[in-house]
Structures are given as C-alpha cells and as structure tokens.
Amino acid sequence: MALEIIESCTSCWACEPLCPSKAIYEAKPHFLIDASKCTECAGDFEDPQCATICPIEGAILNEDGVPLNPPGSLTGITLQKLAA
C-alpha cells in the first residue's frame, strides 16, 4: 500500500512536511515517495495528506496507478478547455 508521485510534479514542497511517515523525499527531477514507508496516511489522517494538498492534477497515483486528483478535479479546467 503506497502512493506514487509522477513526472508532472513541480517539486513545490507542499507535500513533504505533511507526510506523517516521512516517506516523501526531494529528488531530481521531482519528489518521490519511498514505497516501503508510505502508509497512505492510514491511522494518521482520513485523507492521504500529499494528495490532499498537491495542486497538480494527476501527479499522485494510488497503488493501482489511478490519479487521486484526476483532471478537472482541482482547477475546474476541463480537458476540452485544456485542449482548446
């Protein structure tokens, strides 16, 4: 059970201090999650903290590879608008 940060991460530092299990670390070209430490915040918080503050849609995936903040969920900018 671990989350994953992918390449759309802008390394904004918002998630790193929030992680209760210190699983997030600064890396190049973007921040990473140590899968052996990540608990998805179970037992600490209701919502996984990294995904809850991350401003970039699609940057954090669950263990099935599904984005926790799918396109449009944070900015309200739909795919059609992005494509236009």
Interface positions with another protein (CB under 8 A): 8, 10-14, 17-18, 45-47, 49, 52-53, 55-56, 74-77, 81-82, 84
* Choice between 56 and 61, CB closer to another protein: 56
DSSP element (H, E) containing 51: helix 49-53
Compute CA distances 29 → 10, 23, 25, 65, 77, whole Å: 9, 17, 12, 20, 26
Question: From the CB of 50, what's the least distance to another protein, in Å?
Answer: 11
* Choice between 35 and 79, CB closer to another protein: 79
Report DSSP state, residue 61: E
* Choice between 2 and 12, CB closer to another protein: 12
Could you identify the residue written with the tokens 């401003």?
Answer: 55
